[in-house]
């Protein structure tokens, strides 16, 4: 949803005030992009995965168990690093309530019945039909 003209003017005034007040901080904020950093981390994780795969294959070819295990661990670390940084790359907002209340857009219902009871009920409905 685009900003209205009034909101755009207010944002520009805030930006100018920030630049006038602390130009060093403003240049740091302007030059920092979280997605660029996340893409760099994703490239590193892909490189770790490829390196781990090469070590794993090298360990299998040379019949060195330790090298194969080390290659697997490097591959696993690359995959884990990619998973950690996925949220930043996708731009998904990390919504955490500050005051302990539910977020305003939360439509998920809290179920009071345990999972086992719900699964049993679902099974009974399918069996009866």
Same domain, yes or no: 25 and 39: no
d(CA 112, CA 103): 19
Beta-sheet strands, E only, within 6-69 = none
Distance, C-alpha 64 to centroid of its chain = 36
Same domain, yes or no: 22 and 52: no
pLDDT at 5: 85
Same domain, yes or no: 10 and 38: no
**Average pLDDT along the chain:** 79
Residue 100 lies in a domain: no
**Residue 10 corresponds to which tokens in the numbers above?**
């207010």
Same domain, yes or no: 43 and 69: yes
Distance, C-alpha 42 to centroid of its chain = 11
User: Is 24 strand, coil or helix?
Assistant: helix
Same domain, yes or no: 12 and 23: yes
- In this predicted model, what pLDDT tens digit does every residue of 5-21 receive, in sequence order? 888 888 888 888 888 88
Beta-sheet strands, E only, within the chain = none
Domain membership of residue 9 as a residue range: 1-32
Q: Which residues contact 106 (CB under 8 A, 6 or more apart)?
A: none
Residue 9 lies in a domain: yes
Residue 117 lies in a domain: no
The upper half-sphere exposure of residue 52, i.e. CA atoms within 13 Å in the direction of its Cβ, equals 17
Number of domains in the chain: 2
User: Is 73 strand, coil or helix?
Assistant: helix
Of the pLDDT bands very low, low, confident and very high (cuts 50, 70, 90), residue 22 is confident
- In this predicted model, what pLDDT tens digit does every residue of 65-103 receive, in sequence order? 999 999 999 999 999 988 888 766 665 555 555 555 555
Same domain, yes or no: 59 and 14: no
Structure-model confidence comparison of residues 32 and 121, the more confident one: 121
pLDDT at 8: 85
Residue 55 lies in a domain: yes
Q: Which residues contact 82 (CB under 8 A, 6 or more apart)?
A: 41, 42, 45, 46, 49
């Amino acid at each position: 949803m685009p900003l209205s003209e009034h909101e755009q003017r207010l944002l520009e005034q805030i930006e100018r005030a920030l630049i006038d007040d602390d130009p060093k901080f403003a240049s740091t904020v302007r030059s920092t992009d979280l997605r660029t950093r996340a893409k760099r981390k994703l490239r590193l994780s892909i490189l770790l995965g490829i390196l781990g795969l090469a070590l794993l294959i090298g360990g299998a070819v040379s019949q060195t168990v330790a090298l194969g295990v080390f290659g697997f661990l490097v591959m696993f670390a690359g995959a884990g690093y990619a998973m950690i940084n996925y949220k930043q790359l996708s731009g998904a907002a990390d919504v955490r309530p500050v005051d302990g209340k539910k977020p305003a857009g939360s439509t998920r219902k809290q179920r009071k019945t345990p999972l086992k009871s719900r699964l049993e009920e679902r099974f009974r409905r399918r069996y009866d039909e």
